Amino acid sequence: MGYIFWSIVAGLAGVLFAAYLFVRVLRRPAGNDKMKEIAGLIHGGAMVYLNRQYKTVIVFMVVVFFALTFLINIYVAIAYVFGGLCSMLAGYIGMNAATRANVRTSAAAAEKDQPNALSIAFSGGAIMGMTVASIGVLGLGVLFFLAKGFAMKAALVTGFSMGASSIALFARVGGGIYTKSADIGADLVGKLEAGIPEDDPRNPAVIADNVGDNVGDVAGMGADLFESYVGAVVATIAIGALMTVAPFSWMILPLLLIAAGTVTSIIGVLSIKLIAKLDPQLALRYSTYAAQGLFILAAFFLTKLVLGEIAIFWAILSGILAGIAIGMISEIYTSGKILKEVADACKTGPATNIITGLSIGMKSTIFPLIAICIAIYVSYHFGGLYGIAISAVGMLERPA
């Protein structure tokens, strides 16, 4: 039970750290009255949308709750609702943080204070990331603590994951539809018909577009990440429950990994203050690498401590390195020389611009696919199906 206790402590620490970041963001100046007015409209619209969406989702969850109670048992049904509520809470906190951090980042940028603007923007995003990770490890830890027997532990965390998936289904799709509809409306009516410049606040659809960006890219992506993150951990726990020797050790390891990842992420967020004066891209990269290095060390010692051998560590490491490789490849294909190729293609017209962008986008998927294939091969070699599952935990939990 000591392992479970420390995972719950790590989750609570992450929640408290997210609260600390939120308070720190709110203390920053929000700019002039006009900036506050526009930011207030965006914040209000985002929260209204989120409240309305959650009311609809709750009806869906009630129906599924009774279905799970009738078909399986009430404990799994409760775990399902608990998972959904955790995802909704993470989205609600993240949305509040993002809509309040945006204007404060703009105010700092208007003062030409790049380090401060980077720090505020990073903190605003870190609130969502820390909330997702912390509530995930906290929720799974609580269920793991309360459940009796390996089969019940696996069943409850599976219900928790299903609840998270339900929220992701609505939040990701609904937010994406909303933001694209508002974006196209702003372009068609504002720019083409009324002649209002793009992103001009006089165009109501621009406000709606900014609301959509938040509900889609913050709440929607946050719910999607929460579902993927929890799903990878739950899959590993379920496979671990089938182990014939020391199943508890195999089940608890992924939970300890995400707890360690939460702690190293806190260190990574704090490190941005030390390097914020660098180029923003370099600052983000170095803070991420520092946290990832600590996570690799933690994964090694946890694997050795819990399982008594390090074969599974190589599976975890393959997932971590694949995640790092995908991030680096994405960075290459969205900046520097390749980005200039797309810009140069604009000189000869929209057709060559579209063709160039489309071809580069297709090429950019090759190397991430290769990285994932290598990670699957290595992780299967060292740990079989369990190795593949825990490799995914390493990929998703690595601080980024």
Model pLDDT for residues 109-160, shown as the tens digit of each residue: 877 767 777 778 888 888 888 888 888 888 888 888 887 877 777 788 888 8
The last residue of one of the domains, among 309, 338, 354, is 309
Alpha-carbon distance of 148 to 261, in angstroms, equals 26
My answer on whether 285 and 325 are in the same domain is: no
> 321 is in which domain, residue-wise?
311-400
Query: What's the pLDDT at 391?
Result: 92
CB-based contacts of 157, cutoff 8 Å, min separation 6:
79, 140, 143, 144, 147, 233, 234, 237, 238
User: What is the rounded distance in angstroms from the CA atom of residue 363 to the CA atom of residue 81?
Assistant: 41
Q: Which of 76-80, 199-203, 362-366 has the lowest mean pLDDT?
A: 199-203
- Flag whether pLDDT at 315 surpasses 80: yes
Strand spans (E) along the chain: none
What does the pLDDT read at residue 211? Answer: 82
What is the rounded CA–CA span in Å between residue 159 and residue 168?
A: 14
Q: Mark whether 21 and 141 lie in a shared domain.
A: yes
Q: What does the chain come to in residues?
A: 400
pTM of the model: 0.83
Q: Are residues 69 and 91 in the same domain?
A: yes
Q: 384 and 297: one domain?
A: no
- Do residue 40 and residue 87 come from a single domain? yes
Examine the domain organization and report whether 349 and 211 are in the same domain. Answer: no
Report, in this order, helix, strand and coil percent for the chain, each rounded to 5: 90, 0, 10
Q: In this predicted structure, what is the pLDDT of residue 388?
A: 93
pLDDT of 2 above 80 = no
Residue 277 above 70 pLDDT?
no
Tally of structural domains, the chain: 2
Residues 253 and 363 in one domain: no
> How many Cβ atoms from other residues are within 10 Å of residue 47's Cβ?
17
Same structural domain, 381 and 398: yes
Do 184 and 111 lie in one domain? The reply is yes
Residues 131 and 262 in one domain: yes
The band of 280, judged by pLDDT with boundaries at 50, 70 and 90, is low
Return mean pLDDT, the chain.
83
